[in-house]
Amino acid sequence: MINRRGFLGAAGAGAVALGGLGASRAAGGATVDVLLDEPIGTIRPEIYSHFTEHIGGVIYDGIWVGPDSKVANIGGVRKQLVDHMKRLGEVVVRWPGGCFADAYHWRDGIGPAAKRPRRFGRWKEVTEPNAFGTHEFMRFCRLCGDAPYFAANVGMGSPSEFQDWVEYCNAPAGATTLADERVANGDRDPFGVAYWGVGNESWGCGGKFTPEDYCREYRRFTEWVPEYGVKPYLIAAGPNGNDMDWTRRFFAKWVDGARAPLAAFAAHYYCGTTGHALEFSVDQWYEMLHKANFMETLIREQWAAMGEFDPERRVKLIIDEWGCWHPPGTEINPRHLYEQMGCLRDALVAALTLDVFNRHADKVDMANVAQLINNIHSLFLADGDKFVCTPTFHVFEMYRPHHGATSVRVEAQSPEVPFKIGNRDAKLFRVAGSASRAGAKAVTITLVHSHATEPVEAEVRLKGAEAASVRKTVLSHAELNAHNTFETPDAVAPMSADADLRGGSLRVVLDPASVTRFDVILS
């Protein structure tokens, strides 16, 4: 197992090289052209969104500790989580599933907590106590400043159950019996839920529909959705990965006759694993990044297929579940199903994926990493009163200046990195990234440098402008599998410094296995 870069020594995050050209020898240079006058589209903050499901330790022990807990909480919601969520900007949180959504009856989760039914959990390993329901989820969203995205139950539910949920959430107090019930349950103000997913993975755990059968159901579910001042943003369950058959057959049915209201089509892409969450070879490091980078192909090909049926581009693409999914073995609590220790490798996957979304800001309306806490590609791990941010959290925070900015085209050139997938030769990009403009002067550039062991000299050229000042923030570590634990919460954390500016272009050394953000102020 080769997962130590050795030559950087054991200085950890403090070892990141922030010097200019010549500070370190690097093999094969890179150029990054930032085409400031070639806008792609506005980067919606929603592509930095989250996913929370009633599974393992996401809700119970993750978000929800309960109002009587000794763990610091605000009305039952874990306070440390709220404090950190506020650092990530105003985005969207998807709930209650996942597969759980297609077995969830929203009425189970309202009313006095002591009277709520206990159900056989969708993920079988626990009883669902329903202590966390619509009001508690909305409390969490409001505390964080985030918008809710509800996934409705198509698999075991009905159109009227869905429509009642919309009415319960959004009708003004006094308007209907359901609105009055919401008021009696503690929330006079409507929740104003705009994002509604109609089922989840309807090709699989959401009902094992054919695309045609699902499209029929979609029509029934969306035929009448009350507005109450909030235009519903209705989302259809899209493909498993890049399954073109699902997409083409769904859309062929959708255009055949009346087109049901449809704002977006939601694909899921888990790039899986290579090796283990924390034990992997250098080849497996590259293979993981390579698999993650398939998101680029998926977006291009799904978007092209959608365009065959929707040339006016009324329907946007959403990726409402994405991330690395490693085999079991690094759970911090055995009750936390699919919990995994996220390391530097997962942080680079997150960064390269977010860069892909930025580069496709004209197509992707929302993306939700799976999942927020204690599950799969988490930003946070928590157990009782212990709490830690994963390296992926730092990437999300580093990328915040992109929110709401205008994505501009980036051309990165560098020799590809050769590696092996089993016995097969493969190649991976060495440097990739994205850039955005905000206002007249501010430019944010984020770059992923994939090489496991060697730095690279890079020239970042701003086409059509000159930089007056540049700061850089770097996330890296000498160990490819470096991760944060309750005992060492800052093992992987970003470092900031001034960057080297020469005559309007930037000459930098990108550390091995790093994510770098440049904050540029134009002259």
Binding residue for ligand AHR (CB under 6 A) from 222, 302, 371, 444? 371
Binding residue for ligand AHR (CB under 6 A) from 88, 370, 431, 475? 370
Place of tokens 């700061």: 471
201: contact with ligand AHR by CB under 6 A = yes
| Rounded least distance, CB 105 to ligand AHR, Å | 17
**Residue 443 φ/ψ, nearest 5 degrees:** -130, 135
Residue 135 backbone zone (phi > 0: left; psi -120 to 50: alpha; other: beta): alpha
97: contact with ligand AHR by CB under 6 A = yes
82: contact with ligand AHR by CB under 6 A = no
| Rounded least distance, CB 154 to ligand AHR, Å | 13
d(CA 398, CA 518): 10
Decide if 487 is catalytic: no
Q: Choose between 339 and 479: whose C-beta lies nearer to ligand AHR.
A: 339
374: contact with ligand AHR by CB under 6 A = no
Decide if 46 is catalytic: no
| Rounded least distance, CB 325 to ligand AHR, Å | 8
d(CA 231, CA 223): 14
d(CA 228, CA 173): 11
* Catalytic-labelled residue, pool 321, 339, 397, 479: 321
Q: Which of 278, 374, 372, 369 is nearest to 323 (CA)?
A: 369
Listed ranges 68-76, 251-259, 370-378, 489-497: which one lies at the site for ligand AHR (CB under 6 A): 370-378
Binding residue for ligand AHR (CB under 6 A) from 17, 30, 59, 99? 99
d(CA 403, CA 332): 32
98: contact with ligand AHR by CB under 6 A = yes
376: contact with ligand AHR by CB under 6 A = yes
| Rounded least distance, CB 241 to ligand AHR, Å | 11
Listed ranges 4-12, 33-41, 95-103, 427-435: which one lies at the site for ligand AHR (CB under 6 A): 95-103
Place of tokens 């050229």: 461
| Rounded least distance, CB 202 to ligand AHR, Å | 10
283: contact with ligand AHR by CB under 6 A = no
Cα torsion angle, 254, 258, 260, 264, sign: positive
d(CA 337, CA 331): 8
59: contact with ligand AHR by CB under 6 A = no
Q: Choose between 147 and 267: whose C-beta lies nearer to ligand AHR.
A: 267
247: contact with ligand AHR by CB under 6 A = no
53: contact with ligand AHR by CB under 6 A = yes
321: contact with ligand AHR by CB under 6 A = yes
| Rounded least distance, CB 294 to ligand AHR, Å | 17
| Rounded least distance, CB 334 to ligand AHR, Å | 18
CA separation, residue 308 to residues 40, 244, 302 (Å): 21, 12, 10
Is 64:86 a contact under the CB 8 Å cutoff? no
182 burial class (0-12, 13-18, 19+ CB within 10 angstroms)?
Answer: buried
479: contact with ligand AHR by CB under 6 A = no
DSSP letters, 205-272, are TTT---HHHHHHHHHHHHS----TTS--EEEEEEEETT-HHHHHHHHHHHHSSSPPP-SEEEEEEEEE
Q: Choose between 371 and 414: whose C-beta lies nearer to ligand AHR.
A: 371
Parallel/antiparallel/unpaired status of strands 501-502 and 424-428 = unpaired
* Catalytic-labelled residue, pool 201, 287, 457, 479: 201
| Rounded least distance, CB 97 to ligand AHR, Å | 5
339: contact with ligand AHR by CB under 6 A = no
Give CA angle at 98 (203, 314), nearest 5°: 65
Q: Choose between 218 and 269: whose C-beta lies nearer to ligand AHR.
A: 269
Q: Choose between 170 and 200: whose C-beta lies nearer to ligand AHR.
A: 200
Within residues 393-432, the interface with ligand AHR by CB under 6 A covers none
| Rounded least distance, CB 181 to ligand AHR, Å | 29
d(CA 48, CA 286): 24
Is 135:148 a contact under the CB 8 Å cutoff? no
Q: Which residue is nearest to ligand AHR (CB)?
A: 98
319: contact with ligand AHR by CB under 6 A = no
Say how many residues touch ligand AHR, by CB under 6 A: 10
Q: Choose between 151 and 317: whose C-beta lies nearer to ligand AHR.
A: 151
Cα torsion angle, 152, 157, 163, 164, sign: negative
Q: Choose between 202 and 476: whose C-beta lies nearer to ligand AHR.
A: 202
Residue 313 backbone zone (phi > 0: left; psi -120 to 50: alpha; other: beta): left
Is 464:443 a contact under the CB 8 Å cutoff? no
Q: Choose between 97 and 232: whose C-beta lies nearer to ligand AHR.
A: 97
200: contact with ligand AHR by CB under 6 A = yes
Cα torsion angle, 134, 215, 293, 473, sign: negative
| Rounded least distance, CB 62 to ligand AHR, Å | 13
Q: Choose between 203 and 387: whose C-beta lies nearer to ligand AHR.
A: 203
Q: Choose between 130 and 374: whose C-beta lies nearer to ligand AHR.
A: 374
User: What does the H/E/C string look like for 399-422?
Assistant: CHHHCCCEEEEEEEECCCEEEEEC
d(CA 276, CA 184): 49
Q: H/E element holding 136?
A: helix 134-144
For the annotated catalytic residues, the residue numbers are 201, 321
| Binding interface with ligand AHR (CB under 6 A) | 53, 97-99, 200-201, 321, 370-371, 376
